[in-house]
């Protein structure tokens, strides 16, 4: 009898031990599940912050390098980024220029730019670019060659146009030695892309131009430079580099060269397409202010990553005024240009 009682007691003890162990395991599992849920929530939060389409609110500062910062569009991009920073967004801006003259040009457009926000890279040497891009998360490439008017061609143009009544007569242009599209729009941009990859830049936004599918377009025949074709070759290099990229082909930029009337941003509907289809329409232009806003938003819009597209606008006051890039890109049927044609120039 006493033996039987001891067995029951022993069995009861084992049952109690098993129950206690089960409770402990359940408690540990609940703690682990709660910890995993918290970790997942935090991760998703930061992913969302990284690709926020309008603001940069992460506690980690995003550093943006802008080359061609002294240009008309480049200076607007720098201004917009600095405005966002002044409103509390976590970003640093580095305006990259290639000469002291370019630096003074930028200061003339943006007198309040701090000295430490500007970096001069003489002739955009690749080694110096790598040093400049260190620590940058994003790179905006706005460099471009610039054709110059051959003034000696003007009398002939006037004669043909007003005396002979010929239409479509255009003056002659040329590119200064060493500043040809091959050197600036391809070699120069290729070196920027390679330098960015070398130092770990995460995302490159390259601003090119429409007319890349049309070798006979006036932009490509100016000065015999093939300017947009060389730009297109740089685009292909970026796409094949393995870096995250955004390639934007804006239409004609407003205000047009020589025009003093400003072209305000935030007053037009913007249009996205590919392969120069918009060149066949009446909507072939876009204000620089709107282009700059699109560039800035592309830095934090997930839909813009690894895409290439054309960008123009409707007339002022027409359609639905542009607000967010994410919404605009979602409305597009495709965001990938066809680079199979035309045949691109070779070195």
Token couple for 304 = 């813009």
How much is the average pLDDT of 287-303?
A: 98
Residue 169 pLDDT level (bands cut at 50, 70, 90): confident
Question: 287 forms bridges with which residues in the sheet?
Answer: 254
Distance CA 229, CA 343 (A): 9
Give the phi and the psi of residue 204 in degrees, each rounded to 5.
-115, 125
User: How many CA within 13 A on the CB side of residue 234?
Assistant: 34
Residue 39 has pLDDT above 60, yes or no: no
**Which pair of structure tokens corresponds to residue 338?**
């066809």
Sheet holding 118-120, edge to edge: 118-120, 91-97, 62-67, 138-141, 203-207, 244-250, 307-313, 270-273
* Tokens at 315, concatenated: 């007339």
63-84 b/e with 16+ CB inside 10 Å = b? bbbbbbbbbebbbbbbbbbbeb
Gap between the Cα atoms of 140 and 138, Å rounded: 7
State phi, psi for 278 to the nearest 5 degrees.
-70, -15
Mean pLDDT of 312-318: 94
Could you identify the residue written with the tokens 């000696």?
152
In order of 187, 216, 242, 328, the CA distances from 178 in angstroms are 11, 23, 29, 39
Terminus-to-terminus CA distance in the chain, angstroms? 104
Write down the pTM of the prediction: 0.82
Query: What percent of the chain clears pLDDT 90, i.e. is strictly above it?
Result: 73
Radius of gyration of the chain (CA): 29
Which of 238, 205, 233, 239 has its CA nearest to residue 220?
Answer: 233
- pLDDT score recorded for residue 257: 73
Collapse the DSSP code of 67 into the 3-class scheme (helix H, G, I; strand E, B; otherwise coil) and give the result: strand
d(CA 206, CA 245): 8
Question: In the annotation, is 41 catalytic?
Answer: no
Q: How confident is the model at residue 164 (pLDDT cuts 50, 70, 90)?
A: confident
DSSP strand pairing (173-174 vs 252-254): unpaired
In tens, the pLDDT along 220-279 reads 999 999 999 999 999 999 999 999 999 999 999 999 877 778 899 999 999 999 999 999
- C-alpha span between 195 and 184 (Å, rounded): 15
Give the HSE-up count for residue 94: Cα atoms under 13 Å, Cβ half-sphere: 22
Catalytic residue among 102, 145, 208, 209: 209
């Amino acid at each position: 009898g006493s033996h039987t009682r001891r067995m029951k007691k022993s069995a009861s003890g084992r049952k109690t031990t098993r129950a206690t162990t089960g409770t402990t395991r359940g408690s540990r599992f609940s703690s682990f599940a709660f910890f995993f849920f918290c970790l997942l929530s935090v991760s998703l939060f930061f992913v969302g912050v990284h690709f926020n389409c309008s603001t940069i609110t992460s506690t980690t500062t995003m550093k943006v390098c802008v080359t061609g910062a002294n240009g008309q569009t480049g200076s607007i991009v720098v201004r917009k980024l600095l405005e966002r920073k002044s409103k509390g967004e976590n970003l640093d801006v580095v305006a990259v220029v290639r000469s002291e003259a370019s630096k003074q040009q930028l200061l003339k457009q943006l007198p309040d730019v701090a000295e430490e926000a500007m970096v001069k890279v003489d002739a955009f040497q690749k080694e110096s670019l790598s040093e400049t891009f260190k620590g940058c998360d994003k790179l905006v490439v706005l460099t471009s060659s610039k054709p110059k008017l051959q003034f000696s061609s003007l009398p002939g143009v006037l004669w043909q146009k007003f005396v002979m009544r010929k239409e479509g007569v255009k003056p002659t242009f040329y590119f200064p030695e060493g500043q040809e599209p091959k050197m600036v729009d391809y070699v120069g941009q290729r070196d920027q892309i390679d330098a960015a990859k070398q130092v770990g830049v995460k995302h490159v936004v390259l601003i090119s131009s429409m007319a890349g599918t049309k070798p006979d377009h006036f932009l490509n025949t100016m000065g015999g430079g093939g300017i947009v074709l060389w730009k297109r070759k740089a685009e292909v290099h970026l796409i094949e580099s393995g870096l995250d990229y955004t390639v934007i082909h804006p239409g004609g930029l407003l205000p047009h060269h020589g025009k003093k009337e400003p072209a305000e941003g935030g007053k037009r509907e913007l249009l996205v397409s590919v392969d120069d289809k918009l060149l066949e329409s009446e909507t072939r232009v876009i204000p620089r202010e709107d282009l700059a806003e699109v560039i800035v938003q592309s830095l934090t819009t997930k839909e813009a990553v690894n895409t290439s597209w054309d960008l123009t606008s409707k007339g002022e006051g027409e359609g639905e005024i542009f607000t967010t890039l994410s919404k605009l890109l979602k409305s597009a049927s495709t965001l990938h240009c066809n680079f199979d044609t035309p045949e691109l120039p070779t070195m």
